[in-house]
Amino acid sequence: MPRNYKPDPRGKQYRKYDQETIQQALEEFDTTPNCSLASIANKDNINKSVLYRHSRKIMKTQGGQNALDDDTERHIVNYINICGSWGYPLDTYDLRVLIKMYLDNLGITHRRFKNNMPEPDYDARFLKRHKDTISLRICQNIKKSRAQVSPETIKEYFDELEISLKEIDPKTTTKRTSVMTPDVKRL
């Protein structure tokens, strides 16, 4: 199966219906008593099976279905944007690892992914589906004036740190995690 599917021109061409026309037909079906779906379909020149699927909300996209549902993908995009706003950039490998950890934590084994790790092609399709909210960018250097930290910024940081550490017991924050060897001299 090619990556960019192009339908066979000799194959059957399905009719593309306008969503507004379908919605108007469904509203007419809901508001008109004693009116069948077939009569409305004939009147609006829409196939009755299409109207039936839309009325029962049994609609799926054409072609293969996504590995993750829409809500899950929206949450992943939201977390990627949060990481970006914190100044922590994620690349496509990080996206794949994030999806793998998500599936592993839920105990889901997805048959499309080898060891629950999406392929690199999955990244491109994921970015294409969500191109309005996330994009792949190249790291850019910033000017010294933007990277420069002023003394006021440092003072403000330590003031905030002091406020946040007031309620924490100092014994827990000053505890050494490594053992010093006797041959190390203190200066």
Boundary residue ending a domain (129, 150, 180): 129
| Vertex 164 angle, CA 160 and 167, to 5° | 150
Residue 184 confidence (pLDDT) above 50: no
Q: Residue 134: what are its φ and ψ, rounded to 5°? A: -135, 155
More confident residue, 68 or 139: 68
| Whether residue 77 is found in the same domain as residue 42 | no
Range of the domain at 105: 70-129
Q: Which of 96, 103, 84 is nearest to 125 (CA)?
A: 96
Number of Cβ within a 10 Å radius of residue 118: 23
Residue 56 confidence (pLDDT) above 90: no
| Whether residue 89 is found in the same domain as residue 119 | yes
For CA atoms 99, 103, 104, 109, the dihedral sign is negative
**Count of structural domains, the chain:** 2
Could you tell me if residue 154 is inside a domain? no
Residue 158 confidence (pLDDT) above 70: yes
Residue 2 confidence (pLDDT) above 60: no
Q: Tell if the pTM clears 0.85, that is, is over it.
A: no
Q: Which of 39, 19, 18, 15 is nearest to 28 (CA)?
A: 39
Tens of pLDDT along 77-108? 998 888 887 777 788 999 999 999 999 998 98
Q: Which two tokens stand for residue 168?
A: 């924490």
Could you tell me if residue 85 is inside a domain? yes
Boundary residue ending a domain (129, 145, 166): 129
Number of Cβ within a 10 Å radius of residue 77: 18
